[in-house]
Structure 1
Amino acid sequence: MNQYNDYSKHAELALASYGNFASPTPTTEELRRAEFSTKQAEPFILKYRVVAQHTDSTGLSATVFADADNNTYLTVRGTGLSDVRDFATGVFDIMLFGSTKLHPQYVSLKAKVTEWLGNGTLSPTFTVTGHSMGGFLAVGLVDDPTFANHVSHAYLYNAPGLGGFAGPFIKTVLDWMGLAPVYDQSKISNIEAAIGPIPIAGLGFDVAPPIDITIEDQMSSDVIDPHDALNHSQQVLTDALAVYSTYSQLAPNLSQEQLSKLIDAFGSTKDVAGASNSKTLESALDALRTIVLNPANGQVVLGDSQKTGAGDRDKFYTNLYALQSSTPFKDLAGNVQLIPLSDLSTSNIIAKIESNSQQGVAVRFALVALNPFILEGNGVDYSVFNTNGALERFDPDTGIEMITEWRLAA
């Protein structure tokens, strides 16, 4: 499976860990209380069932989900800001000690996982995922010899590192002495929001290299209703990963750096009159919808009613799923070339603009649409956007070469 599909899949599982479930079948309302949108909850309900859920006096909350193939997924909830006990035992211990070894929630989690493995609640191998404190506890399972052959992979989301406030200094000293702890980094994906301050994820030293994900900055003035957890939010990170996954499905060869630059560019190139950051994900989604699905019948710019509105998460997931499940998208996935404009020099872009080839049309479309990328390949049809010569090198009415305008756009 594409790694960004994995990141997105387990991000939703980490988000679902904030739910309280009364039966094996999650309900829409239960998932909405865990910050799913209604539309986002629909496929999750069809895909997963709740096998077990455990909460206790330490503040621990762990849930086991299973899919139709009986693969099991252990999810560990992060620190609940509304639960003073959980906040106190969790955050204080992370900041001061930065270790799971004697942490009361980890002691409880270890006992419960041992029980679940013994009675078949968990399959012999399983993944573990968690946000914030949940990710911190997941590291303990990966590092525990008891579970070394059972945990196939751990997905951490905005999780603190080890060692607390003094973590980086301690690790430097231990590295120098040759005594630093070693983790199997091949089994850990350490995913972090790359925008804004990271007071929790920035604690301690990383057990695996961070995978930085561009999100919509919740501290920006153009976000009308920022999440309570701001940039630490699992919901905000999950939404961003849904877009990363979509672009990665279409063009699997895009690197982490290219993907992040691409998503970040949508926060500055689209709707430049204002509110750009708050429409980053929506603009990135609509750019693909326009090319692949042509919802505006040949118009390069979508009308207001056709756009994915900022902050409308139901519309966002409705449009995202419609794109991903469409035949044109499936046909193009893995069979196109997506080139970020940031990878090209100005002279290279101009040379492509001047080309009479299909690539020239693709570049001119990108500039007209204010897209930070060129999408080309068999099956990508720009002719529907060129009925009035809008993408031609020469003005169809005057015959004058429009290269000056294209140069200015580049």
Structure 2
Amino acid sequence: MGKTTNALENVFELAYNGKDYAGALGRVKAFHREVAESLAAGAGPYMMADVNEGFRDAFEALEAQLATVSALRDYDEQYDQVVSYGELLASAFVAHVLNDLRPTRWLDCRPLLRTDENWREGLVDWQATEESLRSEVLPRFQEVQTIVTQGFVGGTADGRTTTLGREGSDYTAAILAYCLRAESVTIWKDVAGLLNADPKTFPDTVRYPEISYRETIEMAYYGASVIHPKTLKPLADRNIPLRVKSFLDPAAEGTLIHDCQHPPLAPAFIRKTDQCLLSFSSKDFSFISEENLAVIFGALAQAKLKINVMQNSAISFSVCVDFSERRVHQLLDLLREQFTLHYNTGLTLFTIKNYDAASVARLTEGRRLLLEQRTRGTFQFVCQ
């Protein structure tokens, strides 16, 4: 709810750095208590007791988890154990409210959605996940009409919580659909469907009535915020259509994403902020060879930095990544002995999918471009 994940990230950072997190945690707790009380208002005493008990148990578990956080232990593993509580709380609240209207069951997704130990971006064990979901979820529909579970979270074989990456709830929906052979998936957003740009940044957006899996996968990869980049592949693998609809106007058409052919699309404008441009140069002025690139790619993978754009010249190689101070400094530590490194932060990456001359001119006018790149269908540039 709201910006709970961001708030829990702040609590975790304070705990990890040995600082007082009581005030930050208190604000998270107060917000959820207010929501719990408003949801339970007017409901029967049974629901009130359920909500209050679930609220108390969740925060006792969260406080116990925070008490174990230490800078001496793996940062990303501990992050997953703490930040996952936002989804657990929100899903429990929704399940209690729905159960007051129709038979509903809350389901803890962590023992069922099996991942490896790639903390903060768990890789799904598809066979184990499909077996557990089909055996645990399908029989429950004989008892209830609705099942409420969490997005974004999973679990390892030994019971530790993992997360699937920020904004990973859409991906969870696709995993569930794939494993349960769903007829379709609907994702509810605060926009009219899949648009060619973020309406908060571009006022004259266009809605795509229908669009293919392939086009949507590319838009999501470049940073379109409506859909998580990993969502489309499992749906495409089983030809499960995805509908993007607006909870502000549920009767509106929205967008249908499926296996289809369509005429050329309006250019899509995608903006990613808080970018970092890293440049690596060989110290002896030798060429950036395949061997050098292998070292750089290995270090980027070790630091868990994903490349959004890359470009090379004879003696230098540049990449644009989402900025994380901790991960960038880890990368610099890994590579500074072999390369001369420079980086700029606070940058913006723009991508125009299906660009034309007018769309490029519109977006680049008056901007200082630090890097630009174009292919047949995509134009990208990094600017201040």
TM-score (ref. length: structure 1): 0.29
Compare the two structures and name the one with the higher helix fraction: 1
Compare the two structures and name the one with the higher strand fraction: 2
TM-score (ref. length: structure 2): 0.30
Q: Which has the higher contact order (CA 8 A, sep 6+)?
A: 1
